[in-house]
Structure formats: C-alpha cells, structure tokens
Structure 1
Amino acid sequence: MLNRAMLTALLGIGSAQFLKIPLNYIETGIWDWRKVIGSGDMPSSHSSGVTSLTTYVALKKGLPSIEFGISSIFGLIVMYDAMGIRWQTGEIAIAVNDMDEQLEKLAVDHPGINHKKREKELKEMLGHLPIEVAGGAALGIAIGTISYLTERKTKGSR
C-alpha cells in the first residue's frame, strides 16, 4: 500500500489533471477530455503534485526535517523545469512545426524541392506559464493541508 505522502502527491496530480477539463471548457466552450492526460494548461499538475507532497511533509514532519528539505528542493526543480525548459521546448516545437508546413508549401510550388512532410507534428503544449504553475501550487497547498488534517492520528505519531 502507498504511504500517505505518496497518495497525497498522486491526488494533487490527478486533481489538477481533472480540473483542466472544466477550466478549458470555461475558456474555449469545448469539453476536451484529452486534457485529463495531456501536459500544459491550468493548473500545473507538476506543481500541484510536488506542492501537495511538500505541504503534507511540512505539516507531518516539520520545517526543520530532512524530508521537508528534500521535497522542497525537488518541488522547486520540478516547477522551474515546468516553466522554463519544458516551456521553451514547446516553443521550439511550434517553430519546427511551422517550418515543416512552410517547407511543404515551398515544395508544392517548386517541383525541384523535395520535402517529405513529417507524419506527426511535434507536441507543442509541454510547459506552463507562471500563472499555471502558481495555480497548481495553490491547489497543492490545499490538498496537502486537507490530507494532513484528515489523517487519522495514531499513538506516537505527530
């Protein structure tokens, strides 16, 4: 059986993924159920997962604990990566997909140019905007706190 900290983090990830569906509907008017397994969008499931874990650990073990230190640094790296490297990768994918489309049009207009269109476009929505990371973090703090407060206390546990 998974421990409470792992379950809390998984609940943070799952909740964020599920919330993407109604939030996308509010924004676009389209119920897109693929959002439940997709990356990017509001709220960040990366942020929600690591923040729910870190919040739970902080409340359970305390701020001076090694567990809190580890989960905090892990969370910062994950959230930085979601906004930085993964966002830039998505921007590169957009540029590559645009170039491929332009090359295909060029090849049609100029028979001497040989271009084989990519079978599948690169996935463009990979990372998060800062507001999406913040939304995931706020959700994670709430989930981590609720998880701690609803945990049954046993003798000898904090």
Structure 2
Amino acid sequence: MHNIYNFPLVSALISMILAQVIKVPLNLFLGRTWNPALAFSTGGMPSSHSAAAASLATSIGIMNGLDSSLFAIAAVVCAITMYDAAGIRRHAGLHAALLNRITQNLSQITRDKTPAAHLKELLGHRPLEVLVGLVLGVVISFVLYYIIL
C-alpha cells in the first residue's frame, strides 16, 4: 500500500505541535496563569521533544515492524532524546537559575556596577514531563494510524 504522505513524519510533527499547544491550557489549569508564549518555548509539561521522538519511533514500528532496522534506529534516537531532555538540558536550566541568582546578588552588592544575567532557565524537563510526552507521542501515532490509514 502506497501512502501519499510520510506517516511517521506527519505523526511526529502533529505530536510535537500538540504537546507545545497543550502547555498553555495545562499551565492555566495547574498554575492559574495564562501564558501563550509557552507554546513557543522549551521545557514544561509535556515534553514536545519526547512526544515527537516517541511518535516517530511508534509510527515506524507500526509501518515497518518492531523488528526492523528503522524502528531500532528511531527507538535509540528516542531514548537519547528523552535522556537529554530530562538529564543534560534540565541540569543546564538548573545551572542557569543558579547563575541568575549569583549575578543578581553580585549586582546588588556592587550597587548595579555589575549587571545581573538573565539566562533562560526553563530548558529541560522533569522525568514526569518526559514520560507524559512519551505517552502522548505513542497515543497520537496509534490514533492517527487507526483514523487515517
């Protein structure tokens, strides 16, 4: 059966976009603040990186089988992406928060002769945010498969 579009690519993109869009109402519900900019930023619940990678791997698994080399590649890339989102990128965000506090204190001590840094702190994800992104990506792939194909 020939498809007129690339199912894994479409599934991954839809999962990524949906994960980004979900951040805004979820933040309103949980944090009681309306912040549409969250749809265009990194970090937060759910992880769009994890959703996209999981959706890509799931779609490839559906189309080519779980024993295919393509699925193996996608699964490994998915695992690396999720590890990076919850590990390295999250710790970089924690470091940015600490540096922001240090430079803010230094600026106060030097009476604003040393400007405070304003580094972006929300870079990575908590493990739960990565897990929710994973589940979202898998579910989106199966829903799209059964609706479209």
DSSP 3-state at the match of 1:63: coil
Superposition TM-score, scaled by structure 1 size: 0.88
Give the one of 113, 117, 120 matched to 2:115.
117
- Structure 1 counterpart of 2:125, which letter? H
Question: For residues 149 and 87 of structure 1, what CA distance do their matches in structure 2 show?
Answer: 35
The structure with more radius of gyration: 1
Structure 1: any 5+ residue segments left out of the alignment? 109-113, 153-158
Give the equivalent residue in structure 2 for 1:132. 129
Q: Which amino acid aligns with 1:139?
A: L
Q: Does 1:4 align with 2:7?
A: yes
Distance in 2 between residues matched to 1:151 and 1:65, nearest whole Å: 22
| Alpha carbons 1:54, 1:144 under 8 Å: kept | no
Partners of 2:107 and 2:99 lie apart in 1 by 12
TM-score by length of 2: 0.93
Equivalent of residue 149 in structure 1, options 135, 146, 149: 146
Aligned equivalent of 1:14: 17
Distance 1:100 1:33, change over 3 A: same
Amino acid at match of 1:46: H
Distance 1:84 1:29 in 2: 27
Instruction: Give the C-alpha shift of residue 91 in structure 1.
Output: 0.6
In the alignment of these two chains, the number of paired residues is: 146
Q: Does 1:101 align with 2:104?
A: yes
Q: CA deviation at 1:2?
A: 5.8
- Residues 1:41 and 2:44 are matched in the alignment: yes
What displacement does 1:12 show? 0.7
Structure 2: state its 5+ residue gaps. none
Indicate the RMSD between aligned Cα atoms, in angstroms: 1.5
CA deviations 1:104-146 (Å, max 9, x no partner) are 11002xxxxx84314x610000000000001001100111111
Q: How much has 1:151 moved relative to structure 2?
A: 3.2
Identity %: 35
SS at match of 1:126: coil
